Structure 1
Amino acid sequence: MKASENYRQIKADIGHKLHSRQVQLVKKLLLGQHLNDGWLAKIVIYFLLAIIAFLYLQPLFYMISTMVKSVSDLIDPIVKWIPRELHWKNLGDAWRGLRYPESFTNTLTIALTCSILQVVSCAITGYALARLHFPGKTLAFFLIIVTFLVPPQITIIPMYSIFGKLGWLNTPLVFIIPAVFGQGLRGALFIIIFRQFFQTQPKALEEAAKIDGASVFRLFFRIMLPLARPAIIVVFLFSFVWYWNMYYEPSMFLSKGFQPLSLRLSLMQQELMGSSAIHFDAGVGKDPISEGPKMAAAFLIILPPLIVYMFTQRWFSEGIERTGLVE
């Protein structure tokens, strides 16, 4: 009798230990050893990330969905995201309305040329502010900060007057020449990025190069500039995208002749609004007749920067971390 009771007690203890071990295992899986290790925390994090991603990608999804819709799908309130049939005519209309080959070449010329020039000029200026000692260094950096803080709407009229007297209006020189001197679009920000990066580099490299007889220019172009590849990638991509998407400056300086994609989109929108024979009640500022071609045109404009970012995403992320922008 006593042996039987001991057996039941041992069996109960083993069952309790197994149950306790299973509870601990389930608790570990759900909560993890730390707060963000368990499945419960991961589900919450992925859910929040999915919501944030949808909020950011919703305009892109709307653009792609609208550009492949026919007029009947656009005026049908039942059709929201998925059209009944794919309507590719909008892309052809957008291609012709944008004059895409010509406008693409103009935009690429401005964005690529100015981005490369800004990388070189801003790198030289940032290195001088970070490493060299010369009279007026503090004042020069203060003036660069001022140009970063002053809105472009304040300086646009003097610049328009100067460019008009020089005969640069309606030519890419209005963007190329300032980029040569590090004062292109957001040039002050790029100088600050390079200055921040060069200040983090050890001075022993420069001292060793100077002992070997390297001049300042050789020291910069052979040693410091190759080390600044993360900053170069960040500055180039930022500059390229901003030059590609800019509208305010081209609308002032390139009103005719040399027109980038942003201006052609505005002109195309005006042409579509003027040529639409039928207007439906589609909300404020919306016309279903022209909504499809406009979304197709917008997609053709943002497609090249998206492709560039897809191929340079890894180097761009590393550059953001190493240049100190995350701080």
Structure 2
Amino acid sequence: MRTILSDAKGRRFLTKRRIRQARNLVLGKEINQGLVFKLILYAVLIITSYIYMNPMLKMLVKMVMNVKDLVDPTVTWVPSSIYLGHVAEAWKLLNYENSLMISLFIAVSVAVLHCISCGLAGYALARLDVPFKRTIFFLLMLAFIIPPQVIILPTIMVYTKLGLNGHLITLILPSIFGFGVKGALFVVIFRQFFMTHSKSLEEAARIDGATALKFYFRVMFPLARPAILVVFLFSFVWTWNDTYYPRMFLSPTGDMPLAMKMTFIDTALGQFIQNGGFPEYMAEPIKMGASFLTILPPVLIYLFAQRYFIESVERTGLVE
């Protein structure tokens, strides 16, 4: 009798243990360790990735379709052959070599100047006892509220008086002073980063007789590589994709960056179609090719700098 009872208890114990193991496998000891949570997480990630990647994939497929595939409704994702004529046509319409050099010159210049000017401002707000520092920081935060449309007319008037309207320098000049919403954001990024460092470095430099500027350029600026990388990439991509300021300051008949060229591609394609250059259904793949050529440089930069960019964001204090 005792043997039977002990066997029954043993079986109940094994059953409970197996149920507990199965529950831990499905639900997990913690909510983020179970199979159900992981399946839901991966489903959300796959769906979100598809939402973002679907337009990119359609763009890549459409721009390499030949004429036969374009008029065939059964061809959606896999073209019968790779045709690069649409990309070549978009290259000509964008005047790609010239526009690419202009975009790179503007974006790199603005990004470098933002790193210098906003780095100095962020260091001053984080480490120096400057007069009215709280008021200055409040005004800096206020810059996020003021839209660029409010100050665009006075800016155009100033540029016109200086004889700069229509020149590429008008797109670079604001970054020298950390002007606008972008400058305010980058100053905050540098300020948050510099506030994470100990003041012992600064005190040691003062004992050695170093001035604030010397200490900044010799010690703090080299240590700010994570913040510099974040600001550089943000500024580069922001400037590369900007079409508002080029429309305001540059002439539509002069040299233009790629993003602004894209805004006129519909007009150029319409003229070609009216003049009998190609049929109307050829316009969409040419637009896709132009879009691909426009976003290609930032995508390549991000692919190479992705790892360092993510590490830099974590070290700047933005995710705290």
The reply to whether residue 80 of structure 1 matches residue 76 of structure 2 is: yes
Say yes or no: does 1:266 pair with 2:263: yes
Work out the CA distance in 2 between the residues paired with 1:277 and 1:19. 79
Contact 1:98 1:264 in 2 (8 A): yes
Q: TM-score normalised to the size of structure 2?
A: 0.90
Q: CA deviation at 1:89?
A: 1.3
Cα contact 2:100–2:258 (8 A) shared by 1: yes
Q: What is the CA deviation profile of residues 61-84 of structure 1, one whole-angstrom value per residue up to 9, with x for unaligned ones?
A: 222122122345445444333334
* Alignment-derived partner of residue 284 in structure 1: none
Q: How does 1:198-277 map to 2 (within 5 A)?
A: 198-255=194-251, 256-277=253-274
> Structure 1 21/216 Cα, relative in aligned 2: closer, same or farther at 3 Å?
same
- Structure 2: which amino acid aligns with 1:325? L
SS at match of 2:130: coil
Q: How does 1:128-207 map to 2 (within 5 A)?
A: 128-183=124-179, 186-207=182-203
Would you say 1:314 and 2:311 are equivalent positions? no
Cα 1:10–1:140 shift into 2, 3 Å: closer
Q: Which runs of 5+ in 2 are unaligned?
A: none
Q: CA deviation at 1:289?
A: 2.4
1:110-166 CA-to-partner distances (Å, cap 9, x unmatched) read: 000110011010000111122222334334333333333211112112211221222
Q: Report deviation, 1:306.
A: 0.9
RMSD, aligned CA: 2.4
> Per-residue displacement from partner, 1:19-77 (whole Å, max 9, x unpaired)?
44333322222222111112221111101111111112222122212212234544544
Deviation, 1:298, is 0.6
Amino acid at match of 1:292: P
Cα separation, 2, equivalents of 1:67 and 1:265: 16
The match for 2:288 is: 295
For the 8 Å contact 1:175–1:184, the answer to whether it is kept is no
Q: Distance in 2 between matches of 1:305 and 1:254?
A: 22
The answer (yes or no) to whether the contact 1:118–1:184 under 8 Å persists in 2 is: no
User: After the TM superposition, which of the residue ranges 238-247 and 302-311 deviates more from structure 2?
Assistant: 302-311
- Structure 2 counterpart of 1:119, from 105, 115, 119: 115
| Identity percentage of aligned residues | 43
What is the number of equivalent residue pairs in this alignment?
A: 316
1:39 corresponding residue in structure 2: 35
TM-aligned CA distance change 1:71 to 1:156, over 3 Å: farther
Select 1:323's aligned residue among 310, 316, 319: 316
Distance, in Å, in 2 between the alignment partners of 1:187 and 1:74 is 45
1:46-85 alignment, distance < 5 Å: 46-85=42-81
Q: TM-score, normalised by structure 1?
A: 0.88
Amino acid at match of 1:305: P
For structure 1, the residue ranges without an aligned partner over 5 or more in a row are 280-286
